[in-house]
Amino acid sequence: MVYDPLDYTEPNVCVDEHLVTDDAGLLRLQQWSVPRLVADVRSMSGGDGKLSPEQALPGKLMIDQRVSWRNDTPLESMVLIRVIRASKRWIVSNPNAIQFRDRWTYVIDRDDLTPTTPVTTGIYNSQVGSAMDIGTNSVAEPLPGRQWCWAEANCSDEWVGPVPAGERINLWYRCYVWTPPPYSDNANKNSPIHEAYAGWARIQLMAFPQQGTVVTG
């Protein structure tokens, strides 16, 4: 049999939700057939600098950010939440303490419900901080002492879902800083320094496709 390129009959192709045929009849992948970065937000701290003693949890709010994504595909999707935290730095004077805490909450619903308010009084996603206590002199004054600290950038991942087709995931992230009591207002021999710098947080949502459920011809 000799192949004749002019004798061409368009094939009858069956495809699932991850595939499509274009106007020329060529089989192509849908854009959602591969993992996608569907949200990417960088939120700056609004409270960096000198810190008044925040002895009651959750403390001083540094970063407050909401992110959402509506599943615009015909398939449900798993979502990877990735929270990237900038490096943090702080200065604390003998005998005080500083601690950062953050938390995120989310909800998946067609009606765009608001996640629960993320506070860090009992449950939180991360924490970092320090304290120092090098004692007092003979008249019970804290000895001179300041601690400069730095924590490197880091990230956390959480898988959530699935998010059904047409529905939305709403996420709410907050970062706080607080002063674990007791606070000494005569720290560093009556020269207290109390500063905290949260920098920023970058919040990403990555959608991962699930297996198709129907075939069309």
Domain boundaries, the chain: 35-210
Count of C-beta atoms within a 10 Å radius of residue 64 = 16
Q: In terms of pLDDT, which residue wins out, 189 or 1?
A: 189
Q: For the segment 37-46, what is each residue's pLDDT rounded down to a tens digit?
A: 999 999 999 9
Mean pLDDT of all residues in 50-73: 95
Mean pLDDT of all residues in 48-59: 95
C-alpha 194, offset from chain centre: 27
Q: CA neighbours within 13 Å on the CB side: how many for 215?
A: 5
Q: How far apart, in whole angstroms, are the C-alpha atoms of residue 47 and residue 59? A: 11
What the block records as the tokens of 66 is 């909401």
CA distances from 78 to 91, 107, 159, 208 (A): 41, 13, 7, 5
Length of the chain: 217
The contacts of residue 14 (CB under 8 Å, 6+ apart) are 215, 216, 217
- Give pLDDT, residue 23: 64
Mean pLDDT of all residues in 159-181: 95
- Give pLDDT, residue 20: 60
The contacts of residue 4 (CB under 8 Å, 6+ apart) are none
Q: In terms of pLDDT, which residue wins out, 25 or 183?
A: 183
Residue pair 66/186 in contact (Cβ under 8 Å)? The answer is no
Q: How far apart, in whole angstroms, are the C-alpha atoms of residue 157 and residue 134? A: 38
Count of helix runs (H) and strand runs (E) in the chain: 1, 16
Q: For the segment 9-19, what is each residue's pLDDT rounded down to a tens digit?
A: 555 556 656 65
Q: Is 193 helix (H, G, I), strand (E, B) or coil?
A: coil
What single-letter amino acid sits at 137? N
CA distances from 166 to 75, 86, 108, 175, 214 (A): 9, 33, 11, 30, 17
Mean pLDDT of all residues in 70-87: 93
Dihedral sign for Cα atoms in the order 153, 48, 202, 113: positive
Q: For the segment 130-148, what is each residue's pLDDT rounded down to a tens digit?
A: 998 998 888 888 999 999 9
- Give pLDDT, residue 75: 85
- Give pLDDT, residue 34: 73
